[in-house]
A and B are shown apart, each in its own frame.
With several copies, the nearest count.
Chain A
């Protein structure tokens, strides 16, 4: 394992220290927690809390700030944060009108966030939540834990954050979230595994000439392994899967997020974006909003994912483009 770290078990703590130092104008760490909280003054908006295992930087702390998340709870690497930490985030984010939680669909995340909600109930803080499950690489059946939450979650942060900033109530945000989440679908391809510093070796093995479609952001196996192929073929396979899910007719409007997994340079992300552009143009899809870069990574995994959000409401584009003050949006 070749990493710029000190003690592998102290990575999350030191990372948070470095982050809140570098961006001390924007964020702060709640004392004795791994919660990163925005600094801007409270003004009665609904609080927006997210989080999950660390290793997905800039998610989630990089999206803390005015117009986006109120707080992010950083779990250990690839490990859902605990309810007590989530509770602290909820308490700090409550401005008197309740707190909304954005949870990614993993058994651990759901259980921990739900327990935190129970604790918040006891403190009379109204809490509601949505579970993001945008990863179409996984089947949503009674035989799985359901589709995973991946890069599309960042679009949920942005849109709900803008709505909260605009003054939406907890129930309005819940309603928006329930409409939004089913409209988001993502799928990715990995070229190399991630190495969790505490584990010290790669999460899976893959040949020098192989790629795997549908790998999860914790390195969970994907749906198919193939030989390395040109960017446009990778893009074609992923777009094909998205088309199958969306069943688009042609003249629909979408938002697009091309997301790097951590070790894939922007050079490759933009080459890939160009291929996605051609494929979607051929499908007659109009892309009203676009973004490319590292948003929801998997430590040092090489790979990319495509997220499409079907724009069923014009307001969503306004929310996507509304100004924010965060480290990484």
Chain B
């Protein structure tokens, strides 16, 4: 169910996962980037925890907007503006919209990422995690497998956006760190009970 409670829970779990996977995410980024993705997101997670702990939210919009602002102002790098834009875009979509479906919310998030980063599916970025997930939520078919398969698929892709694109063909064979962190986002979404499908 999409509610302030479930989304708060979601964000708490996401933050925990980011902190736990900090080294792993940075290792993925060392292989095809500059090794800071885990540290960047862990910094965001720490700030998020503080923010959520200090506030009581009534409206989903306010919660999403705060998450977006924390990500924009604490993560930095490429992933900060991207995750930030996703949540700010979701906040906007949820504004004055009581009957909002999760699929529409996530679609708005993806739209935010793509407006900011100009990446299409297949360019080996977090977009490759978001696209199949948004699709599956729309079709009411999202499972952990959908989420994990999407990350796995980035392995065979050649990066044409972001820092990994400098490697050309040599980016093939590595998981995309941003897709991996987004998979944590969606797994914790399932865990928090935000998604009611199947």
Contact = CB atoms under 8 A, between A and B. Distances in A.
Touch between A and B in complex, CB under 8 Å?
A: yes
Contact of A196 (B35, B43, B72): B35
Interface string B24-40: 00100010011110011
Interface in A63-86: 75-85
B70 to A, nearest CB: 10
Contact of B43 (A76, A80, A107, A204): A76
Nearest to A138: B166
* Chain A, interface SS category: loop
Contacts of A77: 36
Contacts of B116: 111
A111 B40 contact: no
A144 B81 contact: no
Contacts of B77: 53, 75, 79-80, 108
A119 to B, nearest CB: 10
Most chain A CB within 10 A, of B77, B80, B158, is at: B77
B193 interface: no
B165 A203 contact: no
B197 interface: no
B114 to A, nearest CB: 12
A221 B168 CA distance: 10
Nearest to B165: A144
Interface in B27-80: 30, 33-36, 39-40, 43, 72-80
Contacts of B170: 221
Interface in A181-236: 196, 198-199, 203-204, 216, 218-221
B76 A143 contact: no
A5 interface: no
B15 to A, nearest CB: 17
Contacts of B81: 83, 108, 111-112, 115
A144 B76 contact: no
A144 B168 contact: yes
A10 interface: no
A106 B163 contact: yes
Contact of B161 (A145, A203, A204): A145
Interface extent on B, as a size class? Answer: 20 to 34
A106 B117 CA distance: 11
B76 to A, nearest CB: 4
Contact of B78 (A80, A142, A203, A219): A80
A107 B163 contact: yes
Contacts of B79: 108
Given A80-B77, A82-B80, A199-B30, A145 B165 contact: yes
Most chain A CB within 10 A, of B30, B33, B79, B163, is at: B163
B82 interface: yes
Contacts of B39: 9, 76, 79, 198-199
A132 to B, nearest CB: 16
B100 interface: no
Given A115-B81, A196-B35, A221-B167, A107 B162 contact: yes
Contact of A221 (B72, B74, B82, B166): B166
A305 B116 CA distance: 32
A148 interface: yes
Interface in A221-256: 221
A216 B82 CA distance: 23
A143 B35 contact: no
B26 A76 contact: no
Nearest to B119: A107
A196 B29 CA distance: 12
Closest 10 pairs between A and B when the two form their complex, measured CB to CB: A218-B34, A108-B78, A111-B81, A108-B77, A79-B76, A144-B165, A79-B77, A107-B78, A84-B73, A143-B160
Given A115-B81, A220-B163, 10 more contacts: A53-B36, A79-B36, A79-B39, A107-B163, A108-B79, A111-B81, A115-B72, A148-B166, A198-B36, A204-B30
5 contacts: A75-B76, A77-B36, A78-B36, A79-B76, A143-B160
Interface of B: 26, 30, 33-36, 39-40, 43, 72-82, 116-117, 158, 160-163, 165-168, 170
